[in-house]
Amino acid sequence: MLCALTSLHITRPSTSPSTSPSPFTQLDNESEGIFQLSLTRSDAKNAIGRQFLRELAEALGNVTRERTTRCLLVRSNVDGVFCAGADLKERAGMTQQETHEFVSLLRGTFKQLEVLG
């Protein structure tokens, strides 16, 4: 359920006309392999909490497995902000073990993003 909490959306441009609106603007016919990852957690200025991070890791896994991937655009759909960083309100309620697991997944996910190219 990648978009279960509407935290992240990953879209792939379509060459066929669609009736549903898409946050992706197709630039030309050579957009095969171009993906967009939109951060849309407006209630927390895209702060990275556990659910948000799980969805990000899943989205990156999907892009990594897609053999046609040439480019990943990461953008915010929240006006005036890209990402506030870690969700400190959520972090305050985590145990030491939960914090360790969260930080490990966070590091692994951003490493995965780093090595995509």
Structural domains in the chain? 8-114 (3.90.226.10)
Whole-number Å distance between alpha carbons of 67 and 110: 20
Dihedral, 93, 104, 49, 35 alpha carbons, nearest 10: 180
CB 50 within 8 A of CB 22: no
- pTM of the model as a whole: 0.73
Q: One digit per residue, pLDDT tens: the chain, 117 residues? A: 222 222 345 555 555 544 434 433 444 555 677 788 888 888 999 999 999 999 888 888 888 887 877 888 888 888 999 999 999 999 999 999 999 999 999 999 999 989 886
CB 83 within 8 A of CB 48: yes
